[in-house]
Chain A
Amino acid sequence: MIQKMRASRAYRRFVKNKAAVVSLWFLVFISLVGLFAESVAPYSFDAQDVDRVLQPPSFEHWFGTDSLGRDLFSRIVYGARMSMSVGILTAIVSVIIGGIYGAISGWLGGWVDTMMMRAIDILDAIPSLVLLILVGIVFTSLQPFENPELRALTGILFALSVVGWVSLARLVRGQVLQARELLFVEGAIAMGASPSRILLRHIAPNIMGPVVVMLTFQIPSNILFESFLSFVGLGLQPPFSSWGVLANDGWRAKSSPHLIVFPGAALFLTMLAFNLFGDGLRDALDPKT
């Protein structure tokens, strides 16, 4: 009941924030575009037309064509699928790993907690991009899949999850530590409820807010990391399309500005939308800040 009231108050605060609402719709739109890429894109992501190379935007090719005559608009649409799914899937994996780790650490406390947090400190001391690259090479060298697209995608997902779960684990641990002191949790313990039941039924609903807010900031940073890896050639490779692959193509084709401007704009607008949406969500859930 109280949770419902709290949620509806947060909802009312959120819808007052126009920038956040517009951003949310934009993100829904990009996700749908990515989901139905086959129907939205006029061409396939790897269909080449050697007679129409490096064309500027036109009616036939809205965003122009690249150096192999591929339709840039279609490639951006397929890139949206790749970028959004990388961002969202990694966030889900991070939430599961980080949530379990953080909950165990915060719930058990004591020396277990200290050890678990020290392990996290060590991971944190390696700059994320270095860690990404390290995990990336380990994964690629294992070569678990034959399909190159699947291999690249799972490699990126794996590397990003290794990097991403740490901050979530910290957050969940902190929240669990706090929640343990709450009266209703103490009550549940006294009633003899099992730890997993208490964590899932009593604590989880109470710490959802900060976790969701953190996710809205992690998804864009995952997308950015994926683009980064693909840009330096350690992520997805052409002909597959992601916004990072496209930005790399655009940077190489220096005399055709549309090749960097359109993928750049797609990335920029998506990052912006996630940031504005995240800000709005945080303010709505926690009116103090």
Chain B
Amino acid sequence: MKSGWLVFLFKRVLEAITTLFVIATLTFLLLRILPGGPFDSEKALPEEIKASIEARYGLDKPVSQQYVDYLTGLVQGDWGESYKYLGRSVTDIILETLPVSAELGIYSLLLALVIGIPLGVIAAAKHNSFFDTAAMLVAISGVALPSFVVGPILVMFFSFGIPFAFLHGSLPPALWDGWEYMILPVLTLGIRPAAIYARMTRGTVLEAIKQDYVRTARAKGVSERVVLFRHVLRNSLIPVLTITGPLVAGLLSGSFIIEVIFAIPGIGKHLVSSVSNRDYPLVLGLTLLYSSLLVISNLIVDIFYSIVDPRIRMEK
């Protein structure tokens, strides 16, 4: 039994590493076959300057050599030097900006869990009540609201005081130093996952309530609160937690927009700008970073799931 689980773990980790390796290769090829190098500006550079720039970044070597250099660099933690920010390595840029984005993402996820799950449980417990209908209306609206609309509107309300003048300046719109700066961005980013959690939780709780063991518990005279939180919730939270993997991906990509709107010095802004700057090392590094985060969060969810529900590791 124990070794079966280790085999499962080993297989999943190996799969994750293979996936990341293939992604690294594909993005490398993709960016190398693009017509027009990063140093093709409007004004053509003199030949010798161009050559020396290309030599500096190793672009004069054959592609196969570049690929080998790139891969060895990756493993050694040297992700190359940015084309745009002279003298700064991709690793530096990531280390500097990732913590900010991670903070934003983690707070938003926490907010989503703290709001979404209780909302879903209560809605399901009071199935077909006014609260249920209202909560699900709010939740579906939350799913339908794009963050780039929510963000500016929140800024309008709380920072510019439109149309409620008394709110003017109550929350600052930009920067990222101090908790009062975090409220609006975290709220903007957290609404959608909160709504998704609420809908999902309601669904699984409603499903679980119908099960036989719930009827048995009730028949034994267990109080409704204990039935709900002990018996039902424990069984219905597993599927809910598995969507955390995909949601983390959503938070990652959602953060681009939020960081642009709220001028947060995070990593999301770099992805968009690195693409328009043709800063290939940075594009590569960020693609790989985002994919690793997604792969790792899916892996953690999988492992967690296999611990809670032993049937899963038997199937695979």
Question: Interface extent on B, as a size class?
Answer: 35 or more
Question: Which stretch in A46-54, A184-192, A207-215, A249-257 binds the other chain?
Answer: A249-257
- A232 touching B257 by the CB < 8 A rule? yes
Contacts of B22 in A (CB 8 A): 122
Return chain B residues, CB-CB under 8 Å to A279: 140
Q: Is B294 part of the binding interface, using a Cβ–Cβ cutoff of 8 Å?
A: yes
For B244-285 the 0/1 string (1 means CB < 8 A from A) is 000001001100110011000000000110011000000100
A126-B23, A272-B140 given; A231·B276 CB < 8 A: no
Q: How many A-B residue pairs have CB under 8 A?
A: 118
Asked if A179 lies at the interface with its beta carbon under 8 angstroms from chain B, I say no
- Whether A126 touches B290, Cβ cut-off 8 Å, given contacts A137-B275, A261-B153, is yes
Among B74-82, B91-99, B101-109, B144-152, the one that faces the other chain is B144-152
A247 contacts the other chain (CB 8 A): yes
Q: Any chain A CB within 8 A of the CB of B89?
A: no
Considering only residues 1-32 of chain B, those with a C-beta below 8 Å from chain A are: 15, 19-20, 22-23, 26-27, 30
**Closest residue of chain B to A274, judged by CB?**
B144
A58 an interface residue at 8 Å Cβ cutoff? Answer: no
- Cβ-defined contact, A142 with B149, below 8 A: no
The chain A residue sitting closest to B292, CB to CB, is: A125
Task: Please give, as numbers and ranges, the residues of chain A lying within 8 Å of B235 by CB-CB distance.
Answer: none
B162 — which chain A residues lie within 8 A by C-beta? 255, 257
Roughly how many angstroms separate A247 CA and B295 CA in the complex, as a whole number?
Answer: 32
Q: With both chains docked as a complex, state the minimum distance between the C-beta of B219 and any C-beta of chain A, in angstroms.
A: 26
Q: Which residue of B lies closest to A141 (CB)?
A: B34
Q: Of A26-34, A94-102, A128-136, which stretch is located at the interface?
A: A128-136
Interface check A284, CB cutoff 8 A: no
Q: Collect the chain B residues with CB atoms within 8 Å of residue A247's CB.
A: 146, 148-149, 152
A272 contacts B144, CB within 8 Å? yes
Residues of A within 8 A of B62 (CB): none
Closest 4 CB pairs of A and B: A271-B144, A264-B149, A129-B253, A272-B144
Please list 15 pairs of residues, one from A and one from B, whose beta carbons are closer than 8 Å in the complex, sorted by A's number: A125-B23, A125-B291, A127-B290, A130-B286, A134-B27, A138-B30, A138-B34, A220-B144, A224-B146, A228-B257, A234-B275, A257-B156, A260-B156, A267-B149, A275-B143
